[in-house]
């Protein structure tokens, strides 16, 4: 009987722990979700939009590495008027995506940023 009670308590604690994890995960997802860019230019509507994963980048960089006046990303999705020409000119994503520290623009890498 004692055994059953101990197991019940343990199960309740486990449940509580899972629920807390779920809450923490949700809170993070709100801040660190993927940004799916909308096409700002005309003519390439069929080409998949670029996707930016906060999660993957946050592991490597602090917020202010990107959210500052020089790099120019605002904390509002859809603010930056990004184009490939700007990226290849080492602006926006191109600050890093030019071979070092991150993969550059080339035909083997289009689909790493542009995916459905
Ligand atoms: C590697 C670059 C990078 C890092 C590091 C980064 N962000 Fe971002 N963040 C972006 C980009 C790019 C966007 C999209 C901006 C746009 O669409 O104009 C963005 C958008 C946002 C948004 C708006 C999301 C929305 O849906 O409107 C918030 C909030 C935000 N970032 C917060 C943070 C916080 C907090 C951190 C640190 C924990 C962080 N970012 C780290 C690049 C970064
Ligand atoms: C480092 C990420 C990244 C890589 C690599 C990349 N792009 Fe982009 N690209 C973007 C972002 C961000 C935008 C702006 C948002 C959008 O329109 O999807 C963009 C925009 C575009 C556009 C819209 C028109 C324009 O000129 O801005 C086209 C077309 C495009 N990319 C094609 C390509 C092709 C083809 C490749 C491979 C040779 C490529 N992209 C590689 C991130 C990338
Ligand atoms: C501060 C530097 C920095 C900026 C700015 C930055 N990245 Fe990255 N990104 C990295 C690094 C470092 C990696 C991991 C190394 C690699 O894969 O070459 C990476 C990896 C990626 C990956 C592959 C992993 C994943 O998340 O799927 C994609 C896609 C990507 N970045 C897209 C973008 C786009 C789109 C932008 C602009 C909106 C951007 N990045 C801006 C540094 C940056």
- Tell me the CATH number of domain 33-113, given options 3.30.565.10, 3.90.10.10, 3.50.50.100, 3.40.50.300: 3.90.10.10
96: left (phi over 0), alpha (psi -120 to 50) or beta: alpha
Domain-wise residue ranges, the chain: 1-32, 33-113
DSSP code string of 75-98:
SSTT-S---HHHHHTT-GGGGTBS
pLDDT digits (tens, 9 = 90+) for 26-63: 554 455 689 999 888 888 888 999 999 999 999 999 99
**Ligand 3 centroid to 43 CA: how many Å?**
25
Tokens of 23: 């809450």
User: Over the Cα atoms of the chain, what is R_g?
Assistant: 21
Residues with CB under 6 A from ligand 1: 31, 35, 52, 54, 57-58, 61, 63, 65-67, 73-80
Contact 37, 50 (CB under 8 A): yes
- pTM over 0.85? The answer is yes
């Amino acid at each position: 009987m004692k055994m059953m009670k101990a197991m019940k308590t343990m199960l309740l604690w486990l449940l509580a722990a899972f629920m807390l994890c779920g809450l923490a995960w949700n809170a993070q997802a709100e801040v660190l979700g993927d940004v799916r860019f909308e096409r700002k230019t005309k003519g390439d509507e069929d080409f998949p939009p670029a996707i930016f994963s906060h999660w993957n980048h946050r592991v490597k960089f602090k917020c202010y590495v990107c959210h500052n006046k020089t790099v120019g990303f605002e904390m509002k999705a859809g603010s930056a008027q990004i184009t490939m020409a700007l990226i290849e000119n080492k602006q926006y994503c191109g600050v890093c995506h030019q071979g070092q520290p991150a993969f550059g623009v080339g035909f083997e890498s289009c689909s790493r940023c542009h995916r459905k």
